[in-house]
Amino acid sequence: MGRKQHTRNASGPQGPSQRQLRAGELIRHALVEVLREEEIHDEALKNVSVTVTEVRLSPDLKHAICFVEPLGAGVADAPTAGHVNEIIKALNAHAKFLRGVLGKHIDMKFTPDLKFRHDESFEAAERLNRLLDDPRVRADIEQADEDED
């Protein structure tokens, strides 16, 4: 009877390994510096500041999904959904260039392939806050608190 091989999957119940988390943070910090310092010639990225909120790596560390949020989201002059999509498309179009520059900033055996996605967690948190601020929901929460006492 053969030994069972244990594999660790980033989307599995165990979640990402410590190695994936550490490398993801290293890449996130370096990518922030690259996006801040490098001049990317694209109209969609002109005069746009982008923050990298999270980097998720595959178990072999060769593929990275970079979650980004254009700065200014949630304010009056925030990028529209269409503009955010243009920014994400532009970042993905320049992913190979960014990967090359990133490779000079990090000390890893391989520089992962980059894919950019919009981080929707801020919108989800905002929707949740609006729900919790709804007077009907607030009344239900207060009623539940009184029932516990």
pLDDT tens-digit series, residues 96-136: 999 999 999 999 899 999 999 998 877 777 777 777 777 77
| pTM of the predicted structure, to 2 decimals | 0.72
Helices (H), 38-120: 81-93, 95-105
Pairing of strands 63-70, 113-118: parallel
Q: Rg for the chain (alpha carbons), in Å?
A: 20
- The class (CATH top level) of 18-118 is alpha beta
The domain locations on the chain are 18-118, 120-149
**pLDDT at res. 16:** 87
